[in-house]
Amino acid sequence: MRTDYLFTSESVSEGHPDKVADQISDAIVDLFLSKDSEARIACETLTTTQLVVLAGEIRCKGVYENGEWIPGAQDEIEATVRRTVKEIGYEQDGFHWDKFEFINRLHGQSAHIAQGVDAADNKDEGAGDQGIMFGYATDETPDLMPATLYYSHKILERMAADRHSGAAPFLEPDAKSQVTLRYEGSLPVAATAVVVSTQHAPGYDEGDKEAALHAYVKRVVSDVIPPVLLRETEYFINPTGSFEIGGPDGDAGLTGRKIIVDTYGGAAPHGGGAFSGKDPTKVDRSAAYISRYLAKNVVAAGLATRCTIQLAYAIGVSKPLSLYVDTHETGTVGDDKIEAALLAMPKLGGLTPRAIRTHLSLNKPIYRKTAAYGHFGRKAEGDLFPWERLDLVADLKALLG
């Protein structure tokens, strides 16, 4: 296993056009789950200059029943979309929460998909689609996430907080970051490059204002990344120059185009399916969450310093087709023994879609907050981010420690 190398991950802010789309889609998921915990949602969003379009398939009591919209439901959907964009902070000529055109093309779920997913008679609930899902954990950071992605997220989270609070009024919502770390002996020892591109108010691309913006970004980086890693860092701050036109006005946004930002920054595989806009019967989402949960608990239990887990499903089938564990030659017990232990845990219910939703309590309106700054490495608090809990550690130690 290679131990000395350079590795890079990127993040994008809540105002990035693709992230605007993700947050709108997940706000719709939350809206429907707040009315019907068994709602079925597949909501895709397109954002561009003064336009938001929703498309997809739904089934939800109190919103869309028997092929018809419940009176007032479409108005509530539009209000949810506009409120989401307002909270992000878009009040620009090219994209304004109160002025963009809104088109709703959501419609009823296919009966053929429903018959494969829904439980009936002696048939358990099946997976909402075929697919492979991955989870990952590493001891590089306290949150058991890859350090490159961890720092990339934290830089943009801090800048967004300063923008919202008024501490950095020159910032606009759209931004990207990228962090390159040098690893020696599999440990991060230096940040060799940091890239930050941020949308800004007019005039902050030259003279004293540009210098102030650059100085601000460097202060944020120094607050986020430990100083010991910043001794040889090369900075690239708005390397193309002016960045006044951004967000959906500068580039169209679509749900599900930032799946590597959403997961592990390229440090682990991704099965291909996006998360946002999908209710938890879709294993693209729920099985990716349980895979992270399992991998994180394996590392936290001291069974490995790195762990990748893959799950695979077939549409309409409840039992997973496979469970694969890879501890990358860092495990204290055999990977096959970890696999057997996870499948045998009664509380995990054989990792069927229903068992996953039940164990993690996923049928709740908890998804809007997942749609910016990563679905993983977040704080499990109340109903939020239950897949970040470490409540399997004691079980794993008892079985394998």
Q: Let me know whether 286 and 339 are in one domain.
A: yes
With respect to residue 53, please indicate whether it lies within any of the assigned structural domains.
no
Q: Let me know whether 286 and 396 are in one domain.
A: yes
Count of domains forming the chain: 2
Of 199, 229, 245, which residue sits at a domain end?
A: 245
pLDDT of residue 136: 98
Q: Let me know whether 295 and 365 are in one domain.
A: yes
Q: Let me know whether 229 and 301 are in one domain.
A: no
Q: Let me know whether 199 and 241 are in one domain.
A: yes
Is residue 75 among the annotated active site residues?
Answer: no
With respect to residue 347, please indicate whether it lies within any of the assigned structural domains.
yes
Q: List the chain pLDDT tens, one digit each, 401 residues.
A: 789 999 999 999 999 999 999 999 999 999 999 999 999 999 999 999 999 999 999 999 999 998 899 999 999 999 999 999 999 999 999 999 999 999 999 999 876 555 556 655 555 677 767 899 999 999 999 999 999 999 999 999 999 999 999 999 999 999 999 999 999 998 999 999 999 999 999 999 999 999 999 999 999 999 999 999 999 999 999 999 999 999 999 999 999 999 999 999 999 999 979 999 999 999 999 999 999 999 999 999 999 999 999 999 998 888 999 999 999 999 999 999 999 999 999 999 999 999 999 999 999 999 999 999 999 999 999 999 999 999 999 999 999 97
Q: Which residue in the list 258, 285, 292, 359 is annotated as catalytic?
A: 258
Distance from chain centroid for Cα 222: 25
With respect to residue 96, please indicate whether it lies within any of the assigned structural domains.
no
Q: Which residue in the list 284, 326, 388, 395 is annotated as catalytic?
A: 284
Q: Let me know whether 210 and 307 are in one domain.
A: no
Q: Let me know whether 186 and 135 are in one domain.
A: no
CA distance 228 to 251: 37
Of 188, 216, 245, which residue sits at a domain end?
A: 245
The CATH number given to whatever domain includes residue 193 is 3.30.300.10
Look at residues 88, 82, 32 and name the one whose alpha carbon lies nearest to residue 61: 32
Is residue 208 among the annotated active site residues?
Answer: no
Is residue 16 among the annotated active site residues?
Answer: yes
Q: Which residue in the list 76, 139, 162, 251 is annotated as catalytic?
A: 251
* Cβ count within 10 A of residue 187: 13
Is residue 292 among the annotated active site residues?
Answer: no
- The predicted-structure confidence for 87-120, as pLDDT tens digits, reads as follows 999 999 999 999 999 999 999 987 655 555 665 5
With respect to residue 394, please indicate whether it lies within any of the assigned structural domains.
yes
Is residue 86 among the annotated active site residues?
Answer: no
With respect to residue 41, please indicate whether it lies within any of the assigned structural domains.
no
Is residue 258 among the annotated active site residues?
Answer: yes
Q: Let me know whether 318 and 237 are in one domain.
A: no
DSSP code for 350: G
Is residue 65 among the annotated active site residues?
Answer: no
Is residue 355 among the annotated active site residues?
Answer: no
CB neighbour list of residue 239: distance below 8 Å, 6 or more residues apart: 195, 197
Q: Let me know whether 291 and 386 are in one domain.
A: yes
Q: Let me know whether 135 and 176 are in one domain.
A: no
Is residue 218 among the annotated active site residues?
Answer: no
With respect to residue 195, please indicate whether it lies within any of the assigned structural domains.
yes
Tell me which residue range forms the domain holding 186. 5-13+155-245
With respect to residue 375, please indicate whether it lies within any of the assigned structural domains.
yes
Of 195, 218, 245, which residue sits at a domain end?
A: 245
Q: Which residue in the list 55, 57, 244, 328 is annotated as catalytic?
A: 57
Q: Let me know whether 175 and 135 are in one domain.
A: no
Q: At what angle do helices 17-35 and 73-88 cross, to 10 degrees?
A: 140
